[in-house]
Structure formats: C-alpha cells, structure tokens
Amino acid sequence: MTGAGNDRLNRSGAFRSVRTALLLPSWLVIGVFLLVPVFLMLVFSFLTKEFRGGVIWEFSLAAYDQFIFDRGLFGDEPPTIEWTYITIFCRSILQAAVATVLCLILGFPTAYFIATRDSRHRMVWLFLVTVPYWVNLLIRTVSMKFLIRDNGPLNELLLALGAISQPLTLINTDFAVQLGLFYSYLPFMVLPVYASVERYDFSLSEAAADLYAGRWTILRRVVFPVVRPGIVAGCILVFIPSLGAFLAPDLLGGAKNFMIGSLIEEQFKGNAGNWPFGAAVAMILLSMVLIALMIHARQQSRTEVG
C-alpha cells in the first residue's frame, strides 16, 4: 500500500485503491476456494486417466465420451447412447425434487407459524429448528436408519398401535433416501421462508379479506407472490445439496444405486480410480446447476422489470 500516500490528493484514486484493498480478501477467498478448484476440475476432466487414479497430462475427451456413448462392455462395439449415467442423473434429480417438495410442504407452514408468533417466542422456535443441526450429518443419518429399520422404533410403534400388521420395509428404499434428504435439509427451507414471511405485511391479508377474498385465495394470490423469493431461495438451498448428496443414498438407500454424488466418489475412492471421469461428471453437474440458476436469474430480472 505504498502508493496510497501519493494518491492522497486524488480522492477518487484513493477511494479506488482503498476499495481494491478492501475487496482483496473476498477476491482471494473466491479465487482460492472457488475459482482455482473449479478450474482444476475443468482441466482434469480433459486429461487422460492414469490407471489406478491420477492423470496423465495429455488432452483427452475420453471422460465426456464415456458419459455420452455406450461402446459395450469391452469398449469396441459401435457407439450408442449411454443410458447408465443419464439414469443416475435422472434418479438424483427425482430424489432431490421429492425431498424439496417434502421440505416445502412441511417447511412453509412451519415458517409461517413461527413468523406469526409473538416476537419474543420466534427466537425460541427458530432456535428449536436449528438444534438438530448441531449434530453431525453422518450421525443424524445413521440415527434415521435406526428409526426406520424393520424392527426399529417406528415399526414397533405402528405395530403396537395396530396401524400395520407386518413391519413396513422402509430401509434401503428410495423413500428412505428421500426421507433422509428431507430431514437433512429442512431448515434450509424453513429459514429463508421465515425471513420473507416475517417481512410480510399482514395488513395486506386483512385488506384482501375486506375485499371478500377467501383464505385460500389470500394465501395463493397475496401471500405467495410476496414471499416467493424466500420460497425460491429455500428450494434452491434444499435441491442443490440434495442433488450431490451421497450419505443418505449410501446409508439409507443401501448403496445399491448410484446417485451423482456416489458416482463421483467412486471415481476417486473406488476401484475405478478414473479421475478425469469423476471431474467430468462433476463439471456436467455444475454446468446443469449453473444453467438452471441463470435461467432463474433471468426470469427474475424480467419479472422485476415487467
């Protein structure tokens, strides 16, 4: 910062360099922890794989080719479309979508409930929502496994109540995965929705009621449009981590079917040791998420302009 003294007379120049200096930490953080790793991943995805992990520094499209084309078990048949990875992506998207919808169905009323409490009690309710999150995700997922297993407490309770006559098979099913994801990410829905419902001016509801709007109409035509940004933020915050999750599929789904997260993990930790392919799958996932977010951002700005 030796240059700052010389610029003292030039106020805008001084301001600019101070601004640069103040922004430097955030640029460093973004650069070191975001851009450099993503760039490395991008580079690795275009390199040649080394047997048993690692890369050879030669350009190759093999990773993307493997994703798109199926050349048979031995790699010498004429290429057809590879459905394996598309299936895995669709499954992950479906699981994440179900988890997001579950979170919304339970998260919105919860957030609404908290936001309409006495301001002294809101903090207690919010605190209660976050309490489970002081426990490690792995432990919470394993606990869920204990709860829903064939002879676990949930089945025993239902049997005792006479609701079922045979234990339900919940563990190692898609439903168990969705339940795990839902439970893992529920507060990510509650908190942003709460933040926007809290700012909602309830006199708007009263005004609507005065104009003979029914309760459902008020919710749909008045409340929802106002708190929509919070709902969208919540959905994004739940959907994206669910998409890459691998703990819930492994522990609750029985690891029988790959999700995107476990497919990527396998490339680095499994026998396959195919780093470029792992990087390519990660890049494809990242691009999909980015494109979806950009479309959303564009629509958002369009509605704001309109």
Partner 1 sequence: MLRKLTLALAAAALMPAGMVSAEGKLSIYHWFEYIPQELLDKFSAETGIEVTMDTFDSNEAMLANLKAGKMGTYDVAVPGDYMVEIMIGEGLLDTIADGELANMDNIETQWLEVPFDPGRKHSIPYQWGSTSFSVNRDVYAGDIRTTAIVFDPPDELKGRINILDSQGEVMLLASMHLGIPQCTNDREQLKALDDLLQSAKGHWASFNSDGAKDVLVSGDAAVGMIWNGFSSKAREEGANVEYSYPREGLIVWMDNVVLLQDAPNRDNALKFMDFLLEPENVAAVTNFARYSAGVKGVVDLLEEGLKSQPEAIPPADAPAGTFIQVCDQATQEVYDAIWTRLKK
Asked if residue 204 lies in contact with residue 214, where contact means CB atoms within 8 angstroms, the answer is: no
* Site for partner 1 contains 44 (CB under 8 A): no
Coil/strand/helix, residue 81: strand
Q: How far is the C-alpha of 290 from the C-alpha of 304, rounded, in Å? A: 21
Asked if residue 264 lies in contact with residue 249, where contact means CB atoms within 8 angstroms, the answer is: no
Residue with smaller CB distance to partner 1, 185 or 246: 246
* Site for partner 1 contains 58 (CB under 8 A): no
Q: How far is the C-alpha of 283 from the C-alpha of 279, rounded, in Å? A: 6
Asked if residue 258 lies in contact with residue 266, where contact means CB atoms within 8 angstroms, the answer is: yes
* Site for partner 1 contains 87 (CB under 8 A): yes
* Site for partner 1 contains 138 (CB under 8 A): no
Residue with smaller CB distance to partner 1, 22 or 73: 73
Among 40-48, 96-104, 219-227, 249-257, the segment contacting partner 1 (CB under 8 A): 249-257
* Site for partner 1 contains 120 (CB under 8 A): no
Residue 133 carries which DSSP code?
G
The residues, ordered by sequence, that sit 6+ positions from 165 with a Cβ below 8 Å of its Cβ are 159
Among 56-64, 68-76, 112-120, 130-138, the segment contacting partner 1 (CB under 8 A): 68-76
Chain centroid to Cα 29, Å, comes to 21
The helix-helix angle for 174-199 and 224-244 (nearest 10°) equals 150
Question: Which of 255, 290, 291, 294 touches partner 1 by CB under 8 A?
Answer: 255
* Site for partner 1 contains 269 (CB under 8 A): yes
* Site for partner 1 contains 75 (CB under 8 A): yes
* Site for partner 1 contains 299 (CB under 8 A): no
Query: How many residues contact partner 1, by CB under 8 A?
Result: 31
Among 82-90, 105-113, 211-219, 284-292, the segment contacting partner 1 (CB under 8 A): 82-90
Question: Which of 102, 115, 144, 171 touches partner 1 by CB under 8 A?
Answer: 171
User: CB 306 → partner 1: shortest distance, Å?
Assistant: 44
Provide the H-helix boundaries in 162-246: 174-199, 203-210, 215-217, 224-244
Q: How far is the C-alpha of 244 from the C-alpha of 173, rounded, in Å? A: 18
For partner 1, the binding residues (CB under 8 A) are 51-54, 73-75, 84-85, 87-88, 149-151, 171-172, 254-258, 262-263, 266, 268-274
